[in-house]
Amino acid sequence: MSKSHAALTFWRFPRVVSHRGGGVLAPENTLLAMQTGVKYGIPAVEFDVMLSRDKVPMVIHDEEVRRTIRNSEHIGKMFNELDAQELLTLDAGSFFDPSLSHIRIPLFEDVLNYCLDNHVFMNIEIKPATGFEMRTGIVVAEMTARYYDRLAQAGVAPLFSSFSFDALKAAKEVAPHIPRGFLMHQSLDEVPNWKQIVSDLGAVSLNVNKDSLTEEHVNEIKAFGCGVFVYTVNDLVEAEKLLSWGVDCLCTDKIDTFSPLAARLRP
């Protein structure tokens, strides 16, 4: 790896990140979730961005409108079959708590503004619907780029991530200055070309599943000049083990129990 790429991978992001905004303490991928992460002392959030039918970036995980949506005639439809104005009317809170039926799917731009105003770091997962990988990468990168200078000045320059090589490649072409991390479900041993993927994307991190990671993998990734971001870590003993291996960042659902660890690891 070239020295120029290795220099980019110095870990300058938070060490603990709240999964889908508020972990298990709020309806995922909502503004309330982002606020919950801050409330528990973890001003660093991971969330998913997908495009509506009319190409508006919105914050949601599932391609099918079902698991986190209640009381809608749109249940069972695909997210990108609906326009943003329809999606903004859907109940995205009562699946978590019946008293939260007023909670809505947020626009990506609303989350950008919240995180900018409150100095919250964002790991923005580009979550394209099938067949919309490049378009989603482009739209998310274009919008993020409009905020990037202000986010950087606030000390919370974001990190893109995605399981989609094509989405991250498109984001790189639009906004090469915004760092990228490549998400993997598989073990490093099952992706023999991972070094080529990292190089092609100019990725600063591999974002890997804790269940497929070994200490040897961590050493190999870091020797290649790449950061190690691990998901989803909910046990503090396991967290300490991963940190002892040299893992750079932990993504967790247990933001209440991980709050002291986040404070300890804060620069």
Of 61, 74, 185, 217, the catalytic one is: 61
pLDDT value, residue 9: 42
pLDDT at 184: 97
Is the pLDDT assigned to residue 1 strictly greater than 70?
A: no
Each residue's pLDDT tens digit, 43-85: 999 999 999 999 999 999 999 999 999 877 899 999 999 999 9
Q: How far apart are CA 209 and CA 212, in angstroms?
A: 6
pTM of the model: 0.95
> CA 247 to CA 221: how far, in whole Å?
10
CB crowding 191-222: b at 16 or more within 10 Å, else e: beebbebbbebbbbbbbbebebbeeebbebbb
Token match 């919950």: residue?
36
Task: Using the structure block, give the residue that is written with the tokens 């039918």.
Answer: 53
Annotated catalytic, 217?
A: no
For 81-114, the pLDDT digits (tens) are 999 999 999 999 999 999 999 999 999 999 999 9
User: Which of 19, 102, 119, 217 is the catalytic position?
Assistant: 19
